Amino acid sequence: MADGISSFWGPVTSTTEWCEQNYVYSSYIAEFFNTISNIPGILLALIGLVNALRQRFEKRFSVLHISNMILAIGSMLFHATLQHVQQQSDETPMVWEMLLYIYILYSPDWHYRSTMPTFLFLYGAAFAVVHSLVRFGIGFKLHYALLCLLCIPRMYKYYIHTEDRSAKWLAKLYVVTLLLGGLCWLCDRLFCKDLSRLSFYPQGHALWHVFMGFNSYFANTFLMFCRAQQRGWDPKVVYLMGFFPYVKIQKPKVQ
């Protein structure tokens, strides 16, 4: 904690505390950069939500973008307070978001349409209840990593079956931002003491938030393209102001 600044939220009760020094800039924000670095993720999810609603994509994508925003807001609350309850508001939406990705990735080939969403909903609800009662440590990270690994084979299948070069580039940006974000996360965890001695601390966990905000946007946009292609909506990746990608569709006219 910085000298001369008291903690508005009281002692740290979360099971995880990051490398950034606490309460440097405000008594109301424990980890300043880890908190504000979630803002890009909220804005990107909002852009994706507007695009999904404006072009009337399936509701699953609107829910996905909203879940991205909820996760980013939960992360802000956690890093601002470092309290156990707010930690749950970060970690539980992380699991819910991955369950949504699993549904979007696997549901097109699932023959029993009601079983998958029902199971995933009950699984997410059960996890939220258990997580509110039990403090997970490494177990949560392993569980989350497993859910992420379940998505990889399907994402790769979508990639190899996509011929559009712009859509493939979205998938590559997804991988690049994931790797860069993961590297920042690992450096922040493994080399905290060494990095803290530098005159300028690089804020590895904050960079993880920024990269993952873009990572979610690229993943969502790629999946929207693939789903529109499955539905025969003639999707195209277009660029706002020449550099910001989004999916534009042309639904067939009803005869």
**91 assigned binding-site residue:** no
Per-residue model confidence (pLDDT) at position 255: 42
Q: Is 20 known as a binding-site position?
A: yes
Q: Which two tokens stand for residue 113?
A: 């349409």
Parse the chain into domains and list their residue ranges: 32-249
| CA end-to-end distance (rounded Å), the chain | 67
What per-residue confidence (pLDDT) applies to 6? 64
Is 209 one of the annotated binding-site residues?
yes
Assigned token pair, 234: 């003639």
pTM: 0.92
What's domain 32-249's architecture?
Up-down Bundle (1.20)
Q: Annotation-wise, does 31 bind a ligand?
A: yes
Is 205 annotated to bind a ligand? Reply is yes
Is position 215 annotated in a ligand binding site? no
User: Cα 126 to chain center, whole Å?
Assistant: 21
**What six digits make up the tokens of 79?**
């890093």
Per-block average pLDDT, block size 10, for the chain (255 residues)? Answer: 67 88 92 97 97 96 97 96 92 95 89 84 95 85 93 94 95 96 94 85 93 97 96 94 92 70
The answer to whether 30 touches 80, Cβ cutoff 8 Å, is yes
The response to whether 9 counts as a known ligand-binding position is no
Residue 176: which of 204, 144, 215 has the closest Cα? 215
Per-residue model confidence (pLDDT) at position 108: 82
